[in-house]
Amino acid sequence: MAVEQPRAGVTTGRPMTGSEYLESLRDGRRVYFRGEWVRDVTTHPAFRNAARSIARLYDALHDPRFKDILTKVDRYGNLTHKFFAPAYSAQDLLEARDAIALWQRLNYGWMGRTPEYKASFMATLGADPDYYKPFGDNARRWYNEAASRVLFLNHVIVDPPVDRHRPIHEVRDVYVHVVKETDGGIYVSGAKQVATASALTHATFVAANSGSAARLQEGKDEDFALVFIARMNTPGQVLISRASYELKAESPFDYPLSSRFDENDAILVFDNAFIPWEDVLIYRDVQKLKAFYADSGFFNRFNFQATIRMAIKTEFMAGLLLKGLECNGTVDFRGNQVLAGEIVAMRHLFWALVAAMAHDPEPSLGDSVVPRLEYAAAARVYTNFAWDRIRQIFERVLGGSPILNVSSYKDLRDPDLRPILDRYLRGTGMPAKERIKLFKLVWDAVYSEFAGRHGLYELNYAGNHEQKYLDTLNWARARQLTDQFKELVDQCLADYDLDGWKDPAWAWDG
């Protein structure tokens, strides 16, 4: 199948602009919200500001202030975002780091699944398309389309939490699987989660994470051993969105984060959806599906992007906490400084992990390099549980201050109420309006429904709490690192026995 031709107003051969990105979302996709088909996500109040937050990223690619940091020409001749291209050196990774960071600072680290997140995988298709034989041409074509237009892909790699005690092939009514094979392609049915920001993307990447893949059995689960890409207007593909925090945000003053950075999550359902062969990467190959999560370089690269985002989000939270303490007049209290210092230390740790991943990469597909797996695994663990600790610190040192606030920005516009607010809701050296504004931001970051979703997201977006540690251990075993660890202990045990030290350099009077 030829590469899909763009609609009027959308240009190939270079990254999209913000307006072209918004136009590209008007493609007939089936997004359901509150029992209705959302015909245009760019104008619907549940999605429109998040769409514009993404559009700002595309405009930055063309901004003279940013384009040299953000873009490069890859080996195929595509002008693209630097993280959308494979890296071939530590310098390439360092430049990609700066490009990711620039984009993430535009949303203060509050949008995790921005276009460069899935570029963690899509770039690897260009490094060695033939890894996906007999679908190597598909990988090459998808890489070039994604890179040249800086496509925004979402992904679904987790089976719904249904009947997980049963073998995968016994849950055909729910899990994504092949229904029928034809000369033109395959028909698939089933559901996947969690399709974060999917309503605002160009295509869905469908695969299995390490936990799901580990459960696959040869001879039984071939119909489930799939990796493919489905454009968002694929017939039979349906997105069922959760509640919109953007829709519930009454004003930017009251909800400055919810109102523009809500990456609406969704359940993605394929109902006898047709996937052309040209969009398939792995088909009915259990062993390849089990291996690809680590072999492809996706794991190494997505943790690179995720750690940069978390470093910036942690910087934001450190600044927010310090401003809250200053407003309360408690910034000089020793205990508060200790806990603020803990958040700053987290920030330093994350940037140190990013530096290690960039400066000490490992070989990957083709002659490309990716961040070292061991460092990526460590980053996955420590960034995921950091958010709980940050929230605990806010709760401990700010106490009930975030609750001491008005119900709405409208209270500040009431001429009778305003003098009372100006007197009793002022901060330390801060007018009431600014104090109210600051703690509205604190509330939206830590306590609102949007914030609650972020707490769940940060803990689970990279895998369940056990899988993160299991993968770290299993990959260390596969690389013989655990053998090295045990050998170090064996060396120590060999230094002595019942008769004392074996090396006379140590003394013993026993």
pLDDT tens-digit readout, 272-295: 999 999 999 999 999 999 888 778
Which pLDDT band holds residue 10 (cuts at 50, 70, 90)?
very low
Average pLDDT over residues 416-430: 97
* CA atoms of 351 and 262, how far apart (whole Å): 25
Is 155 one of the annotated binding-site residues?
yes
Asked if 371 and 357 count as a contact pair (C-beta separation under 8 A), the reply is yes
b/e burial code for range 56-93 (CB count within 10 A of at least 16 → b)? ebbbbbeeeebeebbbbebeeebbbbbbbbbbbeeebb
Structure-model confidence comparison of residues 180 and 213, the more confident one: 180
Average pLDDT over residues 427-450: 98
The annotation status of 472 as a binding-site residue, yes or no, is no
Residue 465 belongs to a domain: yes
Comparing CA positions, the residue from 349, 434, 370, 335 lying closest to residue 96 is 370
Mean pLDDT of 463-479: 89
- What's the average model confidence in pLDDT over 340-346? 98
Sign of CA dihedral 212, 214, 219, 220: negative
Inside any domain, residue 314: yes
Classify strands 237-241 and 31-33 as parallel, antiparallel or unpaired: parallel
Give the global pTM.
Answer: 0.94
- The closest alpha carbon to 227, from 208, 212, 209, 213, belongs to 208
- Token pair of 249 as six digits: 């945000």
pLDDT tens digit string along 238-249?
A: 999 999 999 999
Q: For a pLDDT cut of 70, what percent of the chain falls above it?
A: 98
- Mean pLDDT (the chain, rounded): 94
Would you state the pLDDT for residue 291?
A: 87
Q: Which helix (H) or strand (E) holds 155?
A: strand 153-156
Read off the pLDDT of residues 187-206 as tens digits, 9 standing for 90 and up.
999 999 889 999 999 999 99
Contact between 82 and 111 under an 8 Å Cβ cutoff? The reply is no
| pLDDT for 295 | 85
CATH number, domain containing residue 432: 1.20.140.10
* Range(s) of the domain holding residue 418: 298-484
**Other CB atoms within 10 A of residue 275 CB:** 24
Query: What pLDDT was estimated at residue 45?
Result: 98
Tokens (6 digits) for 313: 């989000």
Q: What is the mean pLDDT of residues 2-22?
A: 65
Does residue 157 have a known ligand-binding role?
Answer: yes
Complete edge-to-edge strand list for the sheet that includes strand 237-241: 36-38, 31-33, 237-241, 266-276, 185-192, 177-181
SS3 label, residue 310: helix
Confidence category of residue 209, pLDDT binned at 50, 70, 90? confident
| 460 falls within a domain | yes
Does any domain span residue 169?
no
Q: What is the pLDDT of residue 13?
A: 77
Question: Binding residue per annotation — 156?
Answer: yes
Number of domain units in the chain: 1
Distance CA(336)–CA(314), nearest Å, equals 17
Model confidence at 412: pLDDT above 90: yes
4 pLDDT above the threshold of 80: no
pLDDT confidence of residue 385: 87
What pLDDT is recorded for position 92? Answer: 98
Indicate the pLDDT class of residue 181, thresholds 50, 70 and 90. Answer: very high
Cβ-based burial of 472 (10 A; exposed 0-12, middle 13-18, buried ≥19): middle
Is 191 inside a domain boundary? no
For residue 7, pLDDT over 70 is answered with no
* Confidence (pLDDT) at 210: 80
Q: Poorest-confidence range of 201-205, 329-333, 462-466?
A: 462-466
Tokens 């770039």: give the residue. 123
CA distance 386 to 457: 12
How many other CB atoms sit within 10 Å of the CB of residue 423?
9
Within-domain flag for 381: yes
Q: 503 lies in a domain?
A: no
At residue 23, the 3 state secondary structure works out as helix
Question: What was the pLDDT predicted at 377?
Answer: 95
Rounded to an integer, the average pLDDT of 126-149 is 96
Q: What percent of the chain has pLDDT over 90?
A: 90
Given pLDDT bands bounded at 50, 70 and 90, which one contains residue 3? very low
Kindly report, residue by residue over 46-91, the tens digit of the pLDDT.
Answer: 999 999 999 999 999 999 999 999 999 999 999 999 999 999 999 9
| Mean pLDDT, residues 392-416 taken together | 96
Query: Three-class SS of residue 98?
Result: helix
Is residue 35 in a domain? no
C-alpha distances in angstroms, 120 versus 73, 275, 358, 420?
Answer: 17, 23, 14, 52
Q: How many CA atoms lie within 13 A of 432 on its CB side?
A: 16
Strand duo 266-276 + 237-241: pairing = antiparallel
The arithmetic mean of pLDDT across residues 380-406, rounded, is 94
